[in-house]
Structure 1
Amino acid sequence: MTAELVRGQNHPLSQARLEIRVSAGAPIVAGATLSDESGKIQGVEWVAHPGTPILPGLEVSRQAAADHRLAVDLDAVAAGVHRVSILLALPTGVGRPVGFGSLAAPFVAVTGLDGTEVASYTITGLDTESAVVALELYRRQGGWKVRAIGQGYAGGLAQLLTDQGLPQAHQLAAGIDEAVAQGLARAVPAPPPRTADGDRSRQAAASALGPEQSGSPYGGQGPQGTGSPYAGAQGHGAQTPQGPSDPGAGYPAGPAPTDPPTTTPAAAPPPTTGGPIDYSHPRRQNTPPPPPPTAPPAQPGQPAQPVAGDATGWSMEERLYNQVWGMFEDLARTTAAYRSAVDFADTRMEKELDDVLSDPRSRIGGQGDAARERARAKHTQLVDQARQVLDRDLAQLAAEADVVEPALPPAYARWDNPVWHAYHVPTEMPMALRLGDLHLPESDRLRIPMLVRLPLERGLWIDSGRSGSSDGSFADSHDLRRLAMESAVAHLARLLAVHPAGEFTVHVIDPAGSGAQALAPLVQTGVLAGPPAAGAAGVADVLGRLTQRVDLVQMAVRGGAADSLPPGFDTSQQLLVVNDFPHGFDDRAVTQLRYLADEGPAVGVHLMMVADREDAAGYGPLLDPLWRGLMRLTPVPDDHLADPWVGHAWTYEPALVPPASQVLQHVLTQVATDRRTGPR
């Protein structure tokens, strides 16, 4: 029986090995502190956080996430530890929630390793607090108990840690913010919300076949609370339906996904007085979308055949967009279920082996050897069963990818897709853009397109340094810088290709001219607003013009006088590409760059940096907000992108042009021609 706690209530704990599961509905930071009998933290080494996630008997998440699973072994904590406090905090930075009051009430559950809930607590009554002590596990009369705390702090982690007696509270809080910021800079964009009836019609078709035949990743194999962004409203007053499980699988069946309430696009607001300038994404009609195409009837005992565009949407483009992110969710969920099942099998075998070693009778004859063999055989059986389920789900997703990939429009397609051969400049901006591919080690063959919404909500940082790169073949920093610039040009060409003629303007800053070779196709076809700016004077000129532009548009929008902009004002989206930063930049130029990164996206000015963070380390804290506010991408395959929902580290592969391909030249020539002559 689960104990649903209220603030101040406690409950005994009958087992030492536990999981603390947190669900918040938005990415938050989870950590834990160890304290003595008086409730004081002895030092920073008694705090587990994303920068130092593992302490004896304790492991917390390494990044901000909407869902967390913290591991606790109370038998392994030091004898001097009398309390384990579970902390939750909001990430810092521009655009982050200012208090827990703006989010759904966080839900915290204490469970056994098999997923059985021992106690739960929904933290209500929070407002401007940005950090909270959710629970504490404490010693009492030789045992352990859990108490619901819910103590919030408007001063954030620094105030919380100070209240627990840590002298270095402010320094540690700053270090935690830095570790979290690095994780957020590598975050995969959020998938779109699902509609109440599900946005993937194949789900309904597959469910009719039963969990063993459908091949759907929603077969219920996931452990409870796998961390999917749409794993349901468990703990928030909703009943989470239980999915079917393989009989005898040996690990718990998790909840089938439940969907949030239907959300329909808001009606377009009345136009601002004075002019038509609108840098927001085009509004869509407030009517139900047409039904997606249906798959052909499946043969009895066979999984449903995948169909391109089987998600809901107002157009095929939107249906494909939703379908791609549905595939991302499915892969994340089924992989999380597999990993959880393997962890459960490992833990079970470890416990059974410990029991064998602690039983004196096992030392007599061959009983001990037989018990160990049984434990290992059971472990192998559980892992094999979990792998079979995973392979079944991966096969279904691979079949879907084989159908979806050829059907993608240019904005979503790889450069080697034949759709580019018939390319023409579009008359409308698409919903999203493909920046590369994502995959996980358990499914190396399966690639999920990484799509980001347009217009860009955050700029891009193409990392030209070796930090984080896992590809040893690029030990030469010169090769990495060259490849980073080639990657930036591929992204830039795609951005130019998907915007209507004259609605996307590109400025390039290349102070030392080191990117001239990679930039040659852009310069030769004439798609840039002007030659790449060189030297300190060129840097100052471009930054000055774009900064002035942001100021003018901000004043016009805030004053409701868009028609007061200067005659001939270019209302197109603007992109500034900066190569080899910080060379050629003084303190004033860095400040202007930060201003563009913070204020530019809201008024149609975006930023793409090609730089090595280590080279810019001399600017110290001045540069940190800029780096944190951009999405970090690498020019080589790298396991650095993380999703804040399940917590996987995804391998990101940039969308590069195939060697010797002429597609880039063809596309840029078409863009330049339409700019000069108008659409054909």
Structure 2
Amino acid sequence: MTAELVRGQNHPLSQVRLEVRISAGKPVVAGATLSDEQGKIRGVEWVAHPGAPTLPGLEVSKQAAADHRLAFDLDALPEHVHRVSVLLALPSGVGGPVRFGAVAAPFVAVTGLDGAEVASYTVTGLDAESAVVALELYRRQGAWKVRAVGQGYAGGLAELLADQGLPEAQQLAGSINEAVARGMARSVAAPPPRTADADRSRQAASSTPGADQPYPGPQGAPGTVTPPQSPYDTPGPQGGATPGQGYPPDPSAVTQPSASVGGGINYTHPGRQTAAPPPPAPTAPPAEPGRPAQPVAGDATGWSMDERLYNQVWGMFEDLARTTAAYRSAVDFADSRMEKELDQVLSDPRSRIGGQGDAAREAARARHAQLVDQAREALDRDLAQLVAESEVVEPALPAAYARWDNPVWHGYRVPMEIPMALRLGDLSLPESERLSIPMLLRLPLERGLWIDSGRSSADGGLADADELRRLAMDTAVAHAARLLAVYPAGEFTVHVIDPAGSGASSLAPLTQSGVLDVPPGAGAAGVSEVLARLTQRVDLVQMAIRGGASDSLPPGFDTAEQLLIVNDFPHGFDDRAVTQLRYLADEGPAVGVHLMMVADREDAAAYGPLLDPLWRSLLRLTPVADDHLADPWVGHAWTYEPTLVPAGSQVLQQVLAQVAAARRPWNR
């Protein structure tokens, strides 16, 4: 069965001798790059293109065409190669379109040598880009997989090759374009565009996902390489995500299954640094024949252990989503097959009664049980491998990625630089009770958070609304403490609005440790003062940026990232305060001012649709386990569980005491 991929999705490859078939409405240049474990091209000899179409284990087309066949023998690739990127580009200097937005979306298929499709992908969502990485074939734990990428570059081949670490990118791009121009001067006319019959619809690759597709990232300007974002950090309805474009882990922005969204999906991976790469990532020891490879923490690609662990967590999330989708699909098939067989039995009057009908029904149920057992066996095998990987990865996570009960927090020291991401909780599926995947939010924050203090379908039996509000505030404080802890001293500031003082007990770790520069704002006057101060900050920074005078900010201006925690909304908020709050949610993140709401949406129903844009701009989280998040591919309802400080533990107070001590010199 062909896997119809969407951007960011991967699929295992059971064959090593493959073809990649490309179909486009206009002539395109097809090529491939080889890269090592750090994702870097080691030289021009690692690029297959029309001027040099053959490399060990790889052959590409010699000219631009509307249809291509690239040949791969993965076993014949050099041993240092860990990734093969299939790239497409529009010919330059030979007439015709200069951007992919003006041509039909290219269709790419991975096939066996017999022509049977293994996986396919329609590269949608491109606009001003003239070059794109369509697919990548990559090693993971000794096996090969294919991932749909769809990362476009407005700067063409030169920008694409430079992004993969090739110093001679500009010169090589020029030689490729020259070779293509010579080839096109000798070539016959391009074939006509594909007909509707030939171009099969691939609904799964649509650029307009359904309401249950999350994990998008922010969409950059057309033709730009979008900065790396997590699957969890873009806005969406009901605290969900508004899809963008790019390629991954997400783990992204998150939506609620009931939300309505539109646009492309961003799965942008972490950006590569330009510094020299560190030593290679650890590799697993050779596996015994017939047994899976032993997991190793940090065996994903990346320029630092931080990035490798981030990518490994994303890979685990991706693998769990895929294997669960395969299991559910197999069970659905078994159910539909059994229903069909039973319908056939009932439709025949001769088999409705007597032993013949009973035997047919028993046979149908037996075949159903066999199919389900086979699917469960495959799922259990994959889950066992993921559990083993989680048991290795979890203890190795740095503080920013670790649970509060991880011993790494007891050796905490204020960091010197910002980590790539922050752990907000754990994600799990009903079929994988033993396995949870860390939910990592990319830093710096791209959107605010909404900690829902209202009742939910999974509130753990808590009948007391006051208890839910306290748990929501505890969750907000735990998240705020993490943010303070993972930023260098003086680079993150927290403000609090608590109009009625109802969050005093939950806020005690922040107030008693001294990490708050001013006490929580109380009453209508406190609400007004805090909001006025932060809106003024946003205005000043925006004016400085627009005027190109960032160095002209007032003396003593706090340039740190700012977080505003709002408790007990809408108590103490008048219409002006609500407008200011919406302004901070919309304009604040771009200039380092972020919002964390602790609220029950029903409590604010009196404001009507006025607050809908506010809720849509925030990522909804819950203080108790709840299955309100969805994945980007098949709409799994993921159960989110926040990471809270264990009862009786003093780790939060110890960490905040160090943060406060490190902040004192900055506050003088």
Query: TM-score range, shorter-chain basis?
Result: 0.5 to 0.7
Q: Which residue of 2 aligns with 1:573?
A: 561
Greater CA drift, 358-367 or 602-611: 358-367
Q: What does 1:118-517 correspond to in 2, within 5 Å?
A: 185-186=239-240, 193=247, 265=271, 284-285=273-274, 291-363=280-352, 365-466=354-455, 468-517=456-505
Tell whether 2:552 aligns with 1:564. yes
Q: What letter corresponds to residue 506 of structure 2 in structure 1?
A: A
Is the 8 Å Cα contact of residues 237 and 617 (structure 2) preserved in structure 1? no
Question: Take 1:574 and 1:488, find their aligned partners in 2: how far apart are those partners?
Answer: 15
| Cα deviations by residue, 1:335-361 (Å, 9 ceiling, x for unpaired) | 000000000000000001111111233
Q: Which residue of 1 aligns with 2:622?
A: 634
Is the 8 Å Cα contact of residues 414 and 487 (structure 2) preserved in structure 1? yes
Deviation, structure 1 residue 183 = 5.9
Question: Take 1:432 and 1:396, find their aligned partners in 2: how far apart are those partners?
Answer: 25
Provide the aligned length of Structure 1 versus Structure 2: 457
Is the 8 Å Cα contact of residues 23 and 108 (structure 1) preserved in structure 2? no
Candidates 524, 529, 549, aligned match of 1:536: 524
Question: Take 2:243 and 2:648, find their aligned partners in 1: how far apart are those partners?
Answer: 31
Q: Which residue of 2 aligns with 1:608?
A: 596
Question: Take 2:268 and 2:554, find their aligned partners in 1: how far apart are those partners?
Answer: 43
Greater CA drift, 100-109 or 396-405: 100-109
Deviation, structure 1 residue 644 = 2.8
Question: Take 2:547 and 2:666, find their aligned partners in 1: how far apart are those partners?
Answer: 33
Question: Take 1:585 and 1:523, find their aligned partners in 2: how far apart are those partners?
Answer: 23
Deviation, structure 1 residue 646 = 2.6
Question: Take 2:608 and 2:428, find their aligned partners in 1: how far apart are those partners?
Answer: 33
Is the 8 Å Cα contact of residues 108 and 121 (structure 1) preserved in structure 2? yes
Is the 8 Å Cα contact of residues 469 and 636 (structure 1) preserved in structure 2? no
Q: What letter corresponds to residue 464 of structure 2 in structure 1?
A: D
CA pair 262-297 structure 1, distance change in 2 beyond 3 A: farther
TM-score for both structures, normalised by structure 1? 0.62
Deviation, structure 1 residue 371 = 0.8
Q: What letter corresponds to residue 466 of structure 2 in structure 1?
A: H
Q: What letter corresponds to residue 606 of structure 1 in structure 2?
A: H
Question: Take 2:636 and 2:292, find their aligned partners in 1: how far apart are those partners?
Answer: 27
Tell whether 2:548 aligns with 1:548. no
User: Secondary structure of the residue that 2:431 maps to in structure 1?
Assistant: helix
User: Secondary structure of the residue that 1:479 maps to in structure 2?
Assistant: helix
Percent identity among equivalent residues? 77
Q: Which residue of 2 aligns with 1:653?
A: 641
Deviation, structure 1 residue 678 = 7.1
Deviation, structure 1 residue 292 = 2.0
| Cα deviations by residue, 1:374-414 (Å, 9 ceiling, x for unpaired) | 10000000000000000000000000111001000000000
Q: What letter corresponds to residue 595 of structure 2 in structure 1?
A: L
User: Secondary structure of the residue that 2:445 maps to in structure 1?
Assistant: coil
User: Secondary structure of the residue that 2:576 maps to in structure 1?
Assistant: helix
Question: Take 2:313 and 2:561, find their aligned partners in 1: how far apart are those partners?
Answer: 26
User: Secondary structure of the residue that 1:441 maps to in structure 2?
Assistant: coil
| Cα deviations by residue, 1:154-186 (Å, 9 ceiling, x for unpaired) | xx99xxxxxxxxxxxxxxxxxxxxxx9976624
Structure 1: gaps spanning 5 or more residues: 3-20, 28-99, 110-115, 129-144, 151-155, 158-179, 200-259, 267-283
Is the 8 Å Cα contact of residues 22 and 107 (structure 1) preserved in structure 2? no
Is the 8 Å Cα contact of residues 509 and 534 (structure 1) preserved in structure 2? yes
Tell whether 2:514 aligns with 1:520. no
CA pair 101-579 structure 1, distance change in 2 beyond 3 A: farther
Deviation, structure 1 residue 537 = 0.9
Q: What does 1:609-624 correspond to in 2, within 5 Å?
A: 609-624=597-612
Is the 8 Å Cα contact of residues 627 and 639 (structure 2) preserved in structure 1? yes
Structure 2: gaps spanning 5 or more residues: 10-99, 110-115, 129-196, 203-207, 210-233, 251-265
Q: What letter corresponds to residue 239 of structure 2 in structure 1?
A: A
| Cα deviations by residue, 1:554-608 (Å, 9 ceiling, x for unpaired) | 1111211111111111110000000000111111111111111111111100010
Question: Take 1:537 and 1:528, find their aligned partners in 2: how far apart are those partners?
Answer: 19
Deviation, structure 1 residue 187 = 5.1
User: Secondary structure of the residue that 1:396 maps to in structure 2?
Assistant: helix
User: Secondary structure of the residue that 1:513 maps to in structure 2?
Assistant: coil
Deviation, structure 1 residue 471 = 2.6
| Cα deviations by residue, 1:637-661 (Å, 9 ceiling, x for unpaired) | 1111112323111111101000000
Is the 8 Å Cα contact of residues 341 and 382 (structure 1) preserved in structure 2? yes
Q: Which residue of 1 aligns with 2:655?
A: 667
Deviation, structure 1 residue 298 = 1.3
Question: Take 2:121 and 2:565, find their aligned partners in 1: how far apart are those partners?
Answer: 48
Deviation, structure 1 residue 293 = 1.1
TM-score for both structures, normalised by structure 2? 0.63
Is the 8 Å Cα contact of residues 425 and 671 (structure 1) preserved in structure 2? yes
Question: Take 2:332 and 2:581, find their aligned partners in 1: how far apart are those partners?
Answer: 46
Is the 8 Å Cα contact of residues 189 and 452 (structure 1) preserved in structure 2? no
Is the 8 Å Cα contact of residues 22 and 108 (structure 1) preserved in structure 2? no
User: Secondary structure of the residue that 1:664 maps to in structure 2?
Assistant: helix
Q: Which residue of 1 aligns with 2:33?
A: none
| Cα deviations by residue, 1:244-296 (Å, 9 ceiling, x for unpaired) | xxxxxxxxxxxxxxxx9998947xxxxxxxxxxxxxxxxx2176675321111
User: Secondary structure of the residue that 1:339 maps to in structure 2?
Assistant: helix
Question: Take 1:461 and 1:491, find their aligned partners in 2: how far apart are those partners?
Answer: 11
Is the 8 Å Cα contact of residues 25 and 103 (structure 1) preserved in structure 2? no
Question: Take 2:510 and 2:468, find their aligned partners in 1: how far apart are those partners?
Answer: 20
Q: CA-atom RMSD, angstroms?
A: 3.8
CA pair 475-548 structure 1, distance change in 2 beyond 3 A: same
Is the 8 Å Cα contact of residues 469 and 634 (structure 1) preserved in structure 2? no
Question: Take 2:523 and 2:595, find their aligned partners in 1: how far apart are those partners?
Answer: 19
Q: What letter corresponds to residue 579 of structure 2 in structure 1?
A: T
Question: Take 2:578 and 2:467, find their aligned partners in 1: how far apart are those partners?
Answer: 26
Greater CA drift, 666-675 or 357-366: 357-366
| Cα deviations by residue, 1:622-678 (Å, 9 ceiling, x for unpaired) | 100000110000000111111232311111110100000000110010101111257
Question: Take 1:573 and 1:383, find their aligned partners in 2: how far apart are those partners?
Answer: 51
User: Secondary structure of the residue that 2:441 maps to in structure 1?
Assistant: strand
Deviation, structure 1 residue 301 = 2.0
| Cα deviations by residue, 1:407-447 (Å, 9 ceiling, x for unpaired) | 00000000000001110100101110000111011011111
| Cα deviations by residue, 1:511-566 (Å, 9 ceiling, x for unpaired) | 00000011011111110121000011111111111111111111111211111111
Question: Take 1:516 and 1:378, find their aligned partners in 2: how far apart are those partners?
Answer: 61
User: Secondary structure of the residue that 2:480 maps to in structure 1?
Assistant: helix
Question: Take 1:565 and 1:613, find their aligned partners in 2: how far apart are those partners?
Answer: 37
User: Secondary structure of the residue that 2:538 maps to in structure 1?
Assistant: helix
